Structure 1
Amino acid sequence: MGNAPTVAVFRPDDDRLERAVDLLAELGTEPIADPMLAVTATGATPRTDADYVVFTSKTGAELVSEAGWEPDGETVCAIGPATADALREEGYAVDIVPEEFTSSGLVAALEREVDGARVEVARSDHGSPVLLEGLEDAGASVHETVLYRLVRPGGSGESAELAAEGELDAVCFTSSLTVEHFLAAAAEKGIREAAVTGLADATVGVIGEPTAETAEEQGIDVDVVPDEATFDALAHETVTATPVREE
């Protein structure tokens, strides 16, 4: 693609990665697909005694459907539109989607109505504590069900090699775990320091403040945090902030 900027994307290796690669290509970049997350389902479903059930990902929506979950009058909450759409596609009604598509946004949407309520949070094993703590502070009785575990797939790390070689123009980190797995892949190859140095010359986009904090704690300077916590917003703003590579 000549002088198109190289942009690494770390989505799980399913339709999310395909869509992300297509979008980045449409934006005039050379996408580097380097999946940093693989999903291992637990087969669990939300407890049946909850007043509210909270979902935080499209994956969670699909897995509860596969596991045969049938809601029984609970208020169903989705962290954002992608999760809400996935729940609806599986035949579930969605009652609440916050204005801000983050854990803190979800807490803000629920905090005035969950005092004394039982809230079931159904998500991965790497969910942010912000959601649980915020709901508990609002007076809710909170229980977490782990629907799936997120592991780093074998063979990941091409983007870390490119970063270490100064050949990566931008990255789109979509969770704290993608940052951690990127660094773990780099360390496994013996190039962690070089990869972090390489990212200093790249445009680093992250999907939200928790991911930004993780990156900064690991010595990675963050350039882009979109106002809307979606991959589309992240991709557009990261690409806009990335100069065209000079030959």
Structure 2
Amino acid sequence: MTDNRPTVAVFRPDDERLETAVELLESLDVKPIADPMLSVEPTGAQPRTDAAVVIFTSKTGAELVADDWTPGDATVCAIGEPTAEALRANGIEVDVVPETYSSSGLVDALGEQVDGLGVEVARSDHGSDVLLDGLESAGAYVHETVLYRLVRPEEAGESVQLAVDGTLDAALFTSSLTVEHFLAIAGERGQREAVIDGVADAVVGTIGEPTRETASEQGIAVDVVPETAEFEALATEAVDELDR
């Protein structure tokens, strides 16, 4: 039987996040194209224990430290509710979650509270300088610990060929790095312009303004940016756009 459902590419890491994303897209009556553009390589590092403020920027980072790290008297900050929930699930109390789930949103939330304090930022090797620069400008003494590296899986790229063939109906980018890896594969295949032309006819969704900006700078027009930085919102709004 021919599957005539719209094809929607999802680029989440190949773990429970990809499984959950595929299940959600299936429930929305579209055909998921599971094309993980990121793979997580833990470094084994742990956040410092002498900082007054400790910041986690992702659910992945929160899960990696859950069994071996305790905050002591530190103020714990999480960018996004999924990150906060991962910390709480392992008994780590979260003190600050910014209303805007972004680096700039957290800097705004902390404001002058970090002036003169040691701040530990625990995250991936692809974190934005916006957070570090913003904290330093607020007077903090900032230290960064890389908890994991984000690399491109060798098998990634099914969605790239679909875009070239004009059979990709939507693409859901969850970080700037997913955009960069998607286009890097296209470039290595000599198909960059064909891919950009292909996604021009598709619904493109991104989580967050930084991801939208990366896509736009690379020549990809973005149609959907949900107000909340959550995959469910991204998928739902993108499918609604497809229906229109």
TM-score (norm 2): 0.96
1:39-188 → structure 2 map (5 Å cutoff): 39-66=40-67, 68-188=68-188
Is there any run of 5+ residues in structure 2 with no aligned partner, and where?
none
Question: Does the aligned pair in 2 maintain the 1:171–1:205 contact within 8 Å?
Answer: yes
Deviations 1:109-168 (A, max 9, x none): 111311111110000000111111111111111111100000000110000000010000
How far residue 16 of structure 1 moved from its aligned partner, in angstroms, is 0.3
How far residue 54 of structure 1 moved from its aligned partner, in angstroms, is 0.3
How far residue 243 of structure 1 moved from its aligned partner, in angstroms, is 3.7
Question: Does the aligned pair in 1 maintain the 2:55–2:122 contact within 8 Å?
Answer: yes
- In structure 2, the partner of 1:205 is 205
* Equivalent position SS for 1:113: helix
Question: Which amino acid letter does the alignment assign opposite residue 132 of structure 1?
Answer: L
Q: Distance in 1 between matches of 2:131 and 2:140?
A: 11
Q: Distance in 1 between matches of 2:157 and 2:168?
A: 12
Q: Distance in 2 between matches of 1:176 and 1:119?
A: 25
Deviations 1:218-246 (A, max 9, x none): 111111111111111111111111148xx
- In structure 1, the partner of 2:227 is 227
Q: Distance in 2 between matches of 1:157 and 1:191?
A: 12
Q: Distance in 2 between matches of 1:28 and 1:124?
A: 34
Deviating more after overlay: 221-230 vs 186-195: 186-195
Question: Does the aligned pair in 1 maintain the 2:54–2:76 contact within 8 Å?
Answer: yes
1:22-41 → structure 2 map (5 Å cutoff): 22-41=23-42
* Equivalent position SS for 2:114: coil
Q: Percent identity?
A: 67
Q: Distance in 2 between matches of 1:11 and 1:220?
A: 19
* Equivalent position SS for 1:40: strand
- In structure 2, the partner of 1:191 is 191
How far residue 188 of structure 1 moved from its aligned partner, in angstroms, is 2.5
Question: Which amino acid letter does the alignment assign opposite residue 40 of structure 1?
Answer: E
Q: Distance in 2 between matches of 1:79 and 1:16?
A: 17
Q: Distance in 1 between matches of 2:106 and 2:92?
A: 19
Question: Which amino acid letter does the alignment assign opposite residue 165 of structure 1?
Answer: D
How far residue 2 of structure 1 moved from its aligned partner, in angstroms, is 3.4
Q: Aligned Cα RMSD in Å?
A: 1.2
Q: Distance in 2 between matches of 1:19 and 1:37?
A: 16
Question: Does the aligned pair in 1 maintain the 2:112–2:139 contact within 8 Å?
Answer: no
Q: Distance in 1 between matches of 2:14 and 2:51?
A: 33
Q: What count of residue pairs does the alignment treat as equivalent?
A: 243
TM-score (norm 1): 0.95
- In structure 2, the partner of 1:239 is 239
Q: Distance in 1 between matches of 2:108 and 2:28?
A: 34
Deviating more after overlay: 115-124 vs 133-142: 133-142
How far residue 80 of structure 1 moved from its aligned partner, in angstroms, is 0.8
Question: Which amino acid letter does the alignment assign opposite residue 154 of structure 1?
Answer: E
How far residue 62 of structure 1 moved from its aligned partner, in angstroms, is 1.2
Q: Distance in 1 between matches of 2:43 and 2:36?
A: 21
Is there any run of 5+ residues in structure 1 with no aligned partner, and where?
none
